[in-house]
Copies of this chain bind each other. A is one copy, B any other.
Amino acid sequence: MKLTTLRGAGRDGRLAVVAPDLRTAAFAPAIAPTLIDAMERWGEAEPALRELSESLRAGRAAGTFDFKPLEALAPLPRTYQWLDGSAFAAHGELMAKVFGIQNPQSERPLMYQGMSHQFLSANEDVPFRSEADGIDFEGEFGVITDEVPRGTTAAAAAGHIKLIVLINDWSLRTLAQIEMKTGFGWVQAKPACSAAPLAVTADELGAAWYEGRVALPLHIWLNGRKFGAANGREMGFSFGELIAHAAATRSLCPGTVIGSGTVSNENYRQIGSSCIAERRAIETVDEGSPRTPYMSFGDSVRMEAVGPGGETVFGVLEQCVVSSPTYTTI
């Protein structure tokens, strides 16, 4: 099942089910007006949404309309909790090496709580105050959970994964360095993320939903040139393990989004990277200093995860970074 959110009266948008062929969609107001509402009572909402999905497939759903991915908002335009991991060992080891820090990733997952009151849509321009902040993208997979009781084990956590998403976790690297040294994590360095148009159930991935990981290549283009195609299969911790880590001392609310961190593979020199910081780290190791600049205003990044038949799985994220020195409202 594929879900999307379109513009609606409120801040949470309007939930729609998308047909398997992505051509049509239908709103589901009688089932759940918004995705956050569906997450809060997923047990009853899911079967009804799946029934609507089946009707769409069969061409017998009422009130269908053409699905236009460019009009989609983020699946959850806002939610109450975004916990982002850094679960790819290749990335963690490389960054630790370059920054001369001990890599603490081996024993327990790395995770921070990020901004969740706004997820940008996949095609809107992304405003930043200054290029000097070190504007970078991070391509990563994420999962959306229902309510997860405190103390849930990694094995049980897998059952709380209800939807899978694709996220661009915008990062400001100059600020990240400053904030990381405080031990308090990131606030200024991590503004709103962007999200691809479709949130899909695990069965949509088939065999690519592999041991709690998204075993798909994440293709990334920077200004139209291929930048990376790392596969989510090499995630060092599964999403179930990340959820269990998050839920060790707190219950997770329905609609919690858990991120994988930058998708990264051992053969990053061949396959490329999912963020500029990783490429700069490789350049530093290989050449003594970084060569690839962070993003400038006007630069664009495109991300897409594709299935075995070349089909899009979450839709396309394609965005331009723009200057916004003045006030913006949300």
Contact = CB atoms under 8 A, between A and B. Distances in A.
A25 interface: no
Contact of A185 (B80, B112, B328): B112
A114 interface: yes
B251 A133 contact: no
A150 B185 CA distance: 20
Contact of A147 (B79, B184, B246, B330): B330
Contacts of A149: 327-329
Nearest to A103: B182
A55 interface: no
A111 to B, nearest CB: 5
B110 A182 contact: yes
A248 interface: yes
A118 B253 contact: yes
A209 interface: no
A236 B46 CA distance: 50
A249 interface: yes
Given A104-B181, A185-B185, A188-B246, 8 more contacts: A78-B80, A80-B116, A111-B184, A147-B330, A185-B186, A187-B246, A188-B250, A251-B329
